[in-house]
Amino acid sequence: MTAWWWVRHGPVRGHDGICLGQLDVEADLSDAATLEWLRATLPDDAHWISSPLARATATAAKLHPGPVALEAAFAEQNFGDWQGRAYDTLPLDVDDLAALTPPSGESFVAVCDRVAAAIRRIGAAQAERDIVVVGHAGSIWAALAHALDLAPARALSFAVEPLSLTALTHFPDPEAWRVEGVNQRR
């Protein structure tokens, strides 16, 4: 079995109501108690991976003093021309939000495809290990969609708060996943 520990980056302050996507903004990592809880909860001998965005890499550095591999496939959804705009100005009144592709961006369906491919690739290379990923709500929703074989739109129903932990276990034979916890917080 391979255990996947997904941590959402620390909260982003000063950008309320703004579509961030892949904008490279800093995380507020002042919640020492939650960071300590995560350090105590996460396995000691894990393979560490982070999205390359600053809010994720800074969170990973606060949690783990050792090497952390960067994985572009675990970056947040690219909202293209919508990044930096207020959510209330975006045309989000659609039947299938997961299939909506912002101009010059990607759909959540595409995020699910890239995250699933990376999970399969990394899971094969790191089989039978603990894997910690510091990512984003989008990459964690996509991991849940992959593990539970959910339609992308259904995966968006999960709460994934900053500095929360989502734990999934993969069993290769037969191909199966178990959800250990979603959006766990101190």
Domain boundaries, the chain: 2-162
Strand, coil or helix: what is 18?
strand
Domain spanning 2-162: which superfamily? Phosphoglycerate mutase-like (3.40.50.1240)
Q: Which amino acid is at 128?
A: E
Identify any residues that bridge with 48 across adjacent strands, giving them in sequence order.
132
Q: Is the pLDDT of residue 173 over 90?
A: no
Kindly report, residue by residue over 31-72, the tens digit of the pLDDT.
999 999 999 999 989 999 999 999 999 999 999 999 999 999
User: Quick one: pLDDT band at residue 25, thresholds 50, 70, 90?
Assistant: very high
47 in Cβ contact with 131 (< 8 Å): yes
Residue-level pLDDT at 68: 98
Strand, coil or helix: what is 60?
helix
Starting at the earlier edge strand, list the strands of the sheet with 47-50.
Answer: 69-70, 47-50, 130-135, 2-8, 165-171, 176-184
Residue-level pLDDT at 170: 97
Strand, coil or helix: what is 35?
helix
- Measured between its terminal Cα atoms, the distance across the chain in Å is 26
Alpha helices in 17-136 (DSSP H): 32-41, 54-63, 108-125
161 in Cβ contact with 77 (< 8 Å): no
Residue-level pLDDT at 174: 80
Alpha helices in 79-163 (DSSP H): 108-125, 137-148, 152-155
Kindly report, residue by residue over 89-146, the tens digit of the pLDDT.
999 888 889 999 999 999 999 999 999 999 999 999 999 999 999 999 999 999 999 9
5 in Cβ contact with 165 (< 8 Å): yes
49 in Cβ contact with 122 (< 8 Å): yes
Our measurement of the distance from residue 141's CA atom to the centroid of its chain's CA atoms, rounded to an integer in Å, reads 7
User: Quick one: pLDDT band at residue 180, thresholds 50, 70, 90?
Assistant: very high
